Structure 1
Amino acid sequence: MERQTSSEQHLRDGKRTLNTLRVRDGNTDPVLSNIYGMENGPRIRCVLIGSSSRRLQPRWFVSNSWLRYSTSKDSVYCGPCRFFGPQGGDSKEKAFGVSPINDWSNLGKLVTRHQALKSLQNTIILCGKQGLALRGHGEDDGNFVKLLEYRSKDNGLLRDHMLKKETTNKYTSPEIQNALIQICGEIIVGDIVRDCNKSPCFGFITDEATDCSTTEQMALCVRFYEVDKCITKEKFLGFAECGATTGKALTDKFLHNLTEKGIVIQNMRGQGYDGAANMSGKYRGVHARVREIIPDAVYTHCKVHSLNLCIIHACKEPLVRNVMDTIQTIAFAFDYSAKRLTAFNDALNNDELAKGEMDRRRKLKRCDCDLLVAVEESKVVKTMINQERNDQAVWDALFESAIYIAQHNDIEPSFPRVEQRQCHRSNKEADDPSSYWRKNMFLPFIDHLYTELDERLINAEPRYSAQYLLPKRLNQLSEALVDSVFDSYSRDLQLTKMMFHREVQRWRTRWVIVDDAQKPSDLSDTIRTAHQDLYPGIHKVLCVLVSMPVSTATAERSFSVMRRVKTYLRNTMTTSRLSGLGLLNVYREKILDSELVLDIFARRKNRKLALVFQ
């Protein structure tokens, strides 16, 4: 009797150490706040198991604050799971939730399994976020096992778990790792998909690359406008293996993976790919086949690729091509010498002008850059090129710089002889080297680049007419343009043409009374001012326009993660494992709930041991 009173006193002391779990309305439920589910502690009876009697140990309530004691059933259960958890499921799922436990001899095993598996899961998340290989040459010498052994020095439960002789119940096998990694990836993707489906529409971005095991991998990404936070996002959804690279095979693969992840594909309003024939083909390419299913999913060629192609095609001029070959040879001289490369990097870091130009190159790769900004910047470049072409002072400065470099290398400025019979050589007449190189190299290169920019970057897509809804461009918005906007977005507008015209008229009037300095100038700022309830048509049009991809930079960045995760020493990794580890590495700042991961893990398959208390 004295022993029983001491136990009850220990339980009351432990009760004061519990953190009270509060329900959403702010009130505390007795099941959650009291250690027994009642105000006064009961007497715990002894249970005869075999030839010996067993009693619930008070220390379990101190070390496991979720445990609650039922006096009517003389059993323990998980208070939060009993209160919030589902009431269905098999016998393993009901353990500690629907069906309380009074097997005091095995209670310790049930509790320690939960804590040990949680430590295993946290270690896997750590390795995934840091890009560490889980396995080594064998299963017992990898980072995963070694980190568990290191953590077990200060964790008695984990140490006892790792010292088990049974290998089947340790849950450290590659199959268990793959299952937990896959669940972590699904949780990350689930949050992204939830935000994407809340948005009125999204753009699909993808690219392909070959990994170190010569497997064709495709990176799946989405671009959408998050209405709640008023920001544009581009999110990586994972990798998928390409069985074939034909337009039909890739289309089926893309749509299947998006549907499998929970994306509502009918909300797709933009496609962003490179210019490969199987992607951009007019009749049998991916974008054409996708538009047969989703007619409003307009294709946009990656603007970064387009800019690169402009320069490549402009460099096909014979003299420019020879110059580029010489520059490539010089680049090899730096690339193959550590001393030369270090000196070059030091000089580049000290050149503020060069650093500024390098920062400008990254402009198109930012996810907050929309198509209107890309086209406007292209027009700026085109105008500057045209001005510099007609400015003799620009060429004189370039030629003087070339003479300065030539003199330092003991080269005399000259130009090739002119021969009338050699028709494949640039033979424009010139009196001096400056005139010759300007007529035969500078002007042809500038003219070619000017034409390429106009054709590849500044194209007249009908959807771009929505740019005149921006407050600073409303003075250029004619009735014909309003009709063009309505026709381009008619499937997404729940309005008649007359109603849309009236809404645009109210939109004009709103910004007439606002100073020009206070008018938003870009697409994202304009969407924030176009309230969804007051201007539903304009809001929908702008959301569609901002969701159209600008570049495939997000997909290409994911290939950097792929090469860090799947190396030549880890080339047997499956695509599912690669995708899960890639998601953990990309979204390393995201905090994953280990309890949620273990809950999904326990429900997904009937385990030999009860792992999670539901």
Structure 2
Amino acid sequence: MGKDPNSSHRVAIKCCCDLTNQAQHIEAIIEKQTSIQIARNHLRLKTSIDVIKWLTFQACAFRGRDERHESNNRGNVIELIKLLASYNEDVAAVVLENAPQNASYHSHGIQKQILSIFSDKIQRFIREEINDGKFCILVDESEDESKREQMAIVLRFIDKYGFIKERFFDIVHVLDTTSATLKEEICIVLSRHNLSVQNIRGQGYDGASNMSGEWTGLQALFCAECPFAYYVHCFAHRLQLALVRASKLVISINQFFSYLTRAINIVGSSCKRHDQLRAAQATNIAEKLAIDDEFETGKGKNQIETLKRAGDTRWGSYFSSICSLINMFSATCAVLRNIINDRSKLNQRVEAHGVYDSITSFEFVFILHLMRDIMEITDDFCQALQSKSQDILNAMHLVSTTKILTQKFREGGWVPLLEKIKLFSNDHVDSQLQELNNMFKEDVMELPVLSSTLDPRDGYRSFKIEDICKLANKFYPMDFSEQEKLHLKYQLENYKLDISILPEFQKLSTISELCQMLAKTKKSTSYPLIDRLIRLVLTLPVSTATSKRAFSVMKLIKSKLRNRIEDGFLASYLITYIEKDIARGFDVDSIIHAFGITKERQVQLKMPNFSK
């Protein structure tokens, strides 16, 4: 019986050995097989995530026209996955045709889900940055390629390190642009992320009536609910409009811009003339290179360009238009002469002849160069006003500088000279100052004026304890308790003595730098009330440049070829693209974890729990 291999004794010994060999246990075998499959799923999903992230950062399309296996171009996602697979055997073994049908992780639905995870994490990151602090809303609306009205929402706030942040937060499709509709949609977005309307301390919009209306505008509706959500009309927009309106009051300047627009329109009206313009410019550059050894070439210097059109609400467009005509003046005149000599188009010959005579006159050329010098200064101001880190006090300083330059223009001997050639007069300069004063009225500037007492320039020359206390009592009464308002005065007195002996506080030039220094030196804990007040002042918006840039990006993403992008996908794409600096910091495993939370993904991406 002992020699029988099937004896009960031998079977018992075999069962005992199998029982003690845990590697052969069924749960171990299942776990090993499952872990291999999960690792393959992770690698496949990681590849898709990297592809989608790269395409989003580059504002590229995802889908292809024909994504079938036999297609020569299956779309950016699949083609990029194929490229990665060609460089990595492990990736090639788990993606596309080698992936199971229920876990390929590159379908259109998966692409949108992954992008949505990125945008959700970015919004949570911004929400954590704001924490319980006060913030400002910057809003603008525009029509997209599919004729749907979109509203961009940007949040401005001060982070824990004292830096001003303007974060693109969301874009929402609105059925109409009435102030009530806009407010309702904004409140829905804020409440979705637990951001209270009562914490809004600033509103930044353009000058449209539905936004800035005193009684029924968007700013008025928010002020009715939160009286301390102060509205600031975009400084760069106001400065641009003031200069445009003032220039139109001078007949010669108004005519100049009219001829400038006509010249650009007629020369750039067709592809043929555009080619002629570039050819003439190339010939002109070649001639200058042949006779002038010091003629500069290279990146950004004397390149073959094109004429640029101007628009009243596009900041800096007038300056760019003037510079482009100066750079291509000879080529523009050459194209106009070609049109004049073309006998096949009589009507265009007449118009071209009139434009040619106008732009070659002494008066036009003189104003062309004069306006270039003037608008170069204002363009620098507009660019500075659009900086994300710009604060309200520095913006006021830039506007004041514009007024001072206008005043010096009158006092510097230019006006008598220009009067002789009948271009300018003292009345024209006065009208310029009047427009600037109208755009920046003193009655709406009381808050910035009182805030200027915190300005660290010139050894804190503007520092006035009484005005700072008035600022807190009048404009931010709900942000300080009655006891804190009384204590603020004593804290300011100690603060004044302290900063006068600290060298790191002596070379600050903006209030935003002061806020950063308070956080860096831990003085914000010694003077918490002052730090709180400074942060409230910095919350006030200066421009709506960030929301404007969002619409520029939207034109790249929702183009003519991609005009059917749905609203949710568009919002996720824009948030991820614009705030890519945040998205770059996300670990791939965190994206995979968020993706695997859904019930249908748990089996594919998580290890089983055998303890249950």
TM over 0.5: yes
Listed as ranges, the matches of 1:83-482 within 5 Å are: 102-140=30-68, 141-153=74-86, 154-164=88-98, 167-197=101-131, 200-228=133-161, 230-317=162-249, 319=251, 320-332=253-265, 335-336=268-269, 337=274, 338-339=277-278, 342=305, 358-391=379-412, 393-395=413-415, 399=418, 434-435=419-420, 437-438=422-423, 441-457=424-440, 459-460=442-443, 461-464=445-448, 465-471=450-456, 472-474=459-461, 477=464, 479=466, 482=469
The Cα offsets for residues 26-81 of structure 1, whole Å up to 9 and x where unpaired, read as xxxxxxxxxxxxxxxx9653257xxxxxxxxxxxxxxxxxxxxxxxxx63xxxxxx
Aligned residue identity for 2:383? R
Question: How far did 1:219 drift?
Answer: 1.4
Query: Is the CA contact (8 Å cut-off) linking 1:209 and 1:218 kept in structure 2?
Result: yes
State the partner residue of 2:556: 564
Query: In structure 2, do the counterparts of structure 1 residues 201 and 279 end up closer, same or farther at CA, with 3 Å as the change threshold?
Result: same
Aligned residue identity for 1:394? W
Note if 1:45 corresponds to 2:23: yes
User: Following the alignment from structure 2 to structure 1, what is the Cα–Cα distance between the partners of residues 59 and 529?
Assistant: 45
User: Following the alignment from structure 2 to structure 1, what is the Cα–Cα distance between the partners of residues 154 and 489?
Assistant: 35
Query: Is the CA contact (8 Å cut-off) linking 1:463 and 1:485 kept in structure 2?
Result: no
User: Following the alignment from structure 1 to structure 2, what is the Cα–Cα distance between the partners of residues 147 and 515?
Assistant: 55
Question: How far did 1:358 drift?
Answer: 4.9
State the partner residue of 1:33: none
Secondary structure at 2:216 match in 1? coil
Question: How far did 1:511 drift?
Answer: 4.3
Query: In structure 2, do the counterparts of structure 1 residues 586 and 529 end up closer, same or farther at CA, with 3 Å as the change threshold?
Result: closer
Query: Is the CA contact (8 Å cut-off) linking 1:117 and 1:171 kept in structure 2?
Result: yes
Secondary structure at 2:207 match in 1? coil
Unaligned runs of 5+ in 1: 1-41, 49-73, 76-100, 400-433
TM-score (norm 2): 0.72
Q: Which is helix-richer, 1 or 2?
A: 2
User: Following the alignment from structure 1 to structure 2, what is the Cα–Cα distance between the partners of residues 593 and 268?
Assistant: 32
Query: In structure 2, do the counterparts of structure 1 residues 473 and 451 end up closer, same or farther at CA, with 3 Å as the change threshold?
Result: farther
The share of aligned pairs that are identical, in percent, is: 23
User: Following the alignment from structure 1 to structure 2, what is the Cα–Cα distance between the partners of residues 547 and 390?
Assistant: 37
Query: Is the CA contact (8 Å cut-off) linking 1:232 and 1:368 kept in structure 2?
Result: yes
Query: In structure 2, do the counterparts of structure 1 residues 585 and 332 end up closer, same or farther at CA, with 3 Å as the change threshold?
Result: same
Question: How far did 1:194 drift?
Answer: 0.8
Unaligned runs of 5+ in 2: 1-19, 69-73, 282-303, 307-322, 329-368
Secondary structure at 2:265 match in 1? helix
Query: Is the CA contact (8 Å cut-off) linking 1:462 and 1:488 kept in structure 2?
Result: no
Secondary structure at 2:66 match in 1? coil
Query: In structure 2, do the counterparts of structure 1 residues 224 and 148 end up closer, same or farther at CA, with 3 Å as the change threshold?
Result: same
User: Following the alignment from structure 1 to structure 2, what is the Cα–Cα distance between the partners of residues 437 and 218?
Assistant: 46
TM-score (norm 1): 0.72
State the partner residue of 1:518: 506
State the partner residue of 2:576: 584
Query: Is the CA contact (8 Å cut-off) linking 1:114 and 1:612 kept in structure 2?
Result: no
Query: In structure 2, do the counterparts of structure 1 residues 108 and 599 end up closer, same or farther at CA, with 3 Å as the change threshold?
Result: same
User: Following the alignment from structure 2 to structure 1, what is the Cα–Cα distance between the partners of residues 250 and 326?
Assistant: 31
Aligned residue identity for 2:79? K
Secondary structure at 1:315 match in 2? helix
Query: In structure 2, do the counterparts of structure 1 residues 591 and 481 end up closer, same or farther at CA, with 3 Å as the change threshold?
Result: closer
Aligned residue identity for 1:561? V
Q: How many residues align?
A: 483
Query: In structure 2, do the counterparts of structure 1 residues 105 and 518 end up closer, same or farther at CA, with 3 Å as the change threshold?
Result: closer
Question: How far did 1:235 drift?
Answer: 1.1
The Cα offsets for residues 509-557 of structure 1, whole Å up to 9 and x where unpaired, read as 3345568992533201222454332222221111011111100001111
Query: Is the CA contact (8 Å cut-off) linking 1:211 and 1:563 kept in structure 2?
Result: yes
Aligned residue identity for 1:112? R
